[in-house]
Amino acid sequence: MSKNERKTEDIVRDHFKKYIESIIIEEQSSDTPKIKKLLSTASKNGLGRGSPEFIIQYKQNPDLLIIVECKADVTKHESKDHLQYKKYAVDGVLLYSSYLTKEYDVLSIAISGESERDLKVSHFLQLKGEKKGVEKFSNKLLTPDDYLQGYLKSPEKFRQDYDKLLSFSKDLNDKLHTLQIKEDLRALLISAILIALEDSAFKKAYKDYTDAKQLARFLIDTALNQFEKAKLENDKIENLKVVYQQITILDGLVDNIKNIRDLIKDIDENINDFIRTHEYFDVLGQLYIEFLRYANSDKGLGIVLTPPHITEFMAKLGEVNKDSVVYDSCTGTGGFLVSAMKLMIQDAKGDQEKIKQIKAKQLIGVENKSHIFALACSNMFIHQDGKTNILNGSCFDKDIVEKVKEKKPTVGLLNPPYKSDKKKDIEELEFIFNNLECLEQGGKTVAIVPMQAALSQTGKILELKQKLLEQHTLEAVLSMPEELFINSKVAVVSCIMVFTAKRPHPAGKKTFFGHFKDDGFVKRKNRGRVNVYGRWDSIRERWIRAYMNKEDFAGLSINRVVRPDEEWCAEAYMKTDYSVISDDIFIQEVKKYVAFKVQNL
């Protein structure tokens, strides 16, 4: 019996026409000049114009196209090489996508079968400028809104948007540099603008101002008023007021109305859009890193920020869930709390009452520096949390320790200040000990510290290592990539330590050591370390699986009993996987060693 492709097309047409209020459906050709031009040479046989069965555009999201190619026979769904364009549905729709992605993000749908019962459906997302598509979604037709949300929340779209954010943040930094606004005030200014834009009256009225000084005051008053509406404590608001008032006297802003109006407009269009799409991402932290690229050092101005993919990885190591109470004793801009919030809300699975409780009661932070404290408060506000328990002061202060203990935290996440003066600065392990002391028994502290804190076998660090094992359990030490903090201009080799609180380390217990040096990120000029090839997700899952199962893998991990006077790192004990060593790798390592010897005389 011959197959009838019209039946397949009828199924597709009937499915999508139910959503005509939000989409435009065209068949065989398009009236949009840009689409028509892109398809003018897209014929399946290489001669002239080509066109999929259906071209679907979103009325409110013009950057995304959906294209559909149909075949009646399910045996003609997909070839192995995807090069038989006329014969197979997948091959044909991917051909059209390759032309359209010169100007659009494209969701390609290949459908075969004559009845809904036998229908075979494949989806491929190919973003603008990408060479090939990635398979997405399930083997059935979804609603246009499901497709849109899946597209907006996809890792591929995140990477695309993140690249745009990095590009914008560089341009923004150059602009603020031209306006002679100090590096440590730039992120504060951006945070004030983002918060003020949450107020509909400000968003509408700022464009009408003609006096720059008045607009600057209106901006700060609106931001502070937003904190008051969120019922932030009076003492915190007073602290924020002192910090934010600096913005009202910035010459580069208050001397020219165009400067401040354009700045607000640019931030609304570029940063707010990103925040709305990718809710739980530490945008302010990323901007802070970018703004300090031209400063003398991040450490001199405040903090060394943990990359966002590592904050989420550490939250997963701490087994953060909807019932966790998370404490960051060195909060910085709030990156750990944002990552923890993301995992907690995901675990809440839409329970709005629980989500409200998570934001109001289950995230605790302490930050000592007032301007960084303001950033942390702003960051949590931007993520719809005006009442998070962020305290301004030292995590070693007895009153603060007592306030934190009252909240009964179960997970500690921190990146303590790294020592710059060996005599005066507090040891990183003291911050870990302090964090553990605040947790409930059995809680987990996950901290990222310089590798030196794990290697030292003498002096004060040895004493702290002994003290830690006497009172807490060392579960794991994970060696991190060599240039993890290159985006913050800090050359430090780091490791992650995982402890169980208030349970002395049992005699003979093995600690998990991970050689987690390759996270898939690569260096790119003007962008630092980025996940260009999208390898991080699979690498992270392998790391977590190895840690959770306490697995020994040559070249990756080993379990070993250690004492305080031994080195706490995988490199000291791990077996080498010689199968992956080539002549080229050996030569490169020898060159590195020679270069190290020359540099260090």
In a domain, 194, yes or no: yes
Would you state the pLDDT for residue 234?
A: 84
User: How far is residue 100's CA from residue 34's CA, in Å, rounded to a whole number?
Assistant: 9
* Residue that is written with structure tokens 């107020």 in the block: 199
Our count of domains for the chain comes to 3
Structure tokens given for 485: 């903090």
Report the C-alpha gap between 418 and 293 in whole angstroms.
18
Collect all residues with Cβ–Cβ distance below 8 Å to 60 and sequence separation of at least 6. 22
Same domain, 418 and 479: yes
Q: Is residue 13 domain-shared with residue 40, that is, in the same domain?
A: yes
Q: CATH number of the domain at 17, please.
A: 3.40.1350
Residue 469 or residue 421, greater confidence: 469
Of the candidates 231, 172, 223, the residue with the CA atom closest to the CA atom of residue 197: 223
Do 395 and 527 share a structural domain? yes
pLDDT greater than 50 at residue 298: no
Please check whether residue 601 lies inside any domain of the structure: no
Same domain? For 111 and 232 the reply is: no
> 134, 152, 170: which is the final residue of a domain?
152
Of the candidates 100, 131, 152, which is a domain's last residue? 152
* 353 plus 377 within the same structural domain: yes
What is the C-alpha to C-alpha distance for residues 580 and 211, in angstroms, rounded to an integer?
65
Looking at the DSSP assignment, which residues form a beta bridge with residue 581?
none
**Phi/psi class of residue 158: alpha, beta or left (left: φ > 0; alpha: ψ in -120 to 50)?**
alpha
- Number of CB atoms found within 10 A of residue 352's CB: 8
Q: What is the CATH number of the domain that holds 367?
A: 3.40.50.150
Highest mean pLDDT among 169-183, 218-232, 355-369, 465-479: 465-479
| Integer-rounded Cα radius of gyration of the chain | 27
Within a domain: 290: no
Q: What is the pTM of this model?
A: 0.76
Q: Residue 376 above 60 pLDDT?
A: yes
At 23 the pLDDT is 94
pLDDT of residue 48: 59
The phi, psi pair for 276, rounded to 5°, reads -65, -35
Are 376 and 446 part of one and the same domain?
yes
Q: What is the mean pLDDT of the chain?
A: 88
Is the domain of 143 the same as that of 173? Answer: no
What pLDDT was estimated at residue 75? 93
3-state secondary structure of 13: helix
User: CA 89 to CA 295: how far, in whole Å?
Assistant: 55
Q: Which amino acid is at 148?
A: L
* DSSP H or E run through 446: strand 444-450
Residue 177 shares a structural domain with residue 132: no
pLDDT at 302: 41
**Which has the closest alpha carbon to 564: 497, 424, 478, 468?**
468
Say if 294 falls within a structural domain.
no
Is 489 in the same domain as 525? yes
The DSSP call for residue 440 is P
d(CA 108, CA 64): 11
Residue whose entry in the numeric block shows the structure tokens 């809440």: 348
Q: List beta partners, residue 522.
A: 530
Do the domain assignments include residue 186? Answer: yes
Residue 128 domain flag: yes
Q: For residues 492 and 448, what is the distance between their CA atoms, to the nearest angstrom? A: 11
Does a structural domain hold residue 297? no
- Are 452 and 330 contained in the same domain? yes
Give the separation between CA 488 and CA 296, rounded to whole angstroms. Answer: 11
- In eight-state DSSP terms, residue 488 is G
What is the pLDDT, as a whole number, of residue 372? 84
What is the residue type of 310? I
Does the pLDDT of residue 108 top 50, yes or no?
Answer: yes
Task: Reply yes or no on whether the pLDDT at 202 is more than 50.
Answer: yes
Give the span between the Cα atoms of 28 and 314, in whole angstroms: 50
φ, ψ at 400 (rounded to 5°) = -65, -40
Cα 457 to its chain centre, rounded Å, is 36
**How many helices, marked H, and strands, marked E, lie in the chain?**
24, 17
Tell me the β-bridge partners of 362. Answer: none
pLDDT digits (tens, 9 = 90+) for 414-440: 999 887 766 677 999 999 999 999 999
Which of 412-426, 502-516, 572-586 has maximum average pLDDT? 502-516
Please give the Cα distance from 565 to 458 (Å, whole number): 7
Task: Spell out where 100-164 has E strands.
Answer: 105-112, 120-126, 134-136
Q: What is the DSSP string of 108-162?
A: EEEEE-SSTTT-EEEEEEE-TT-SS-EEES-SS---HHHHHHHHHTSHHHHHHHH
Please indicate, yes or no, if residue 86 is contained in any of the structural domains: yes
Domain, as residue range, for 220: 157-277
Residue that is last in its domain, among 152, 177, 197: 152
Q: Do 18 and 145 share a domain, yes or no?
A: yes
Q: Are residues 439 and 470 in the same domain?
A: yes
The pLDDT tens digits for 312-344 are: 999 999 999 999 999 999 998 888 998 999 999
Reported as a pLDDT band with limits 50, 70 and 90, residue 171 is confident
Residue-wise pLDDT tens digits, 259-273: 999 999 999 988 887
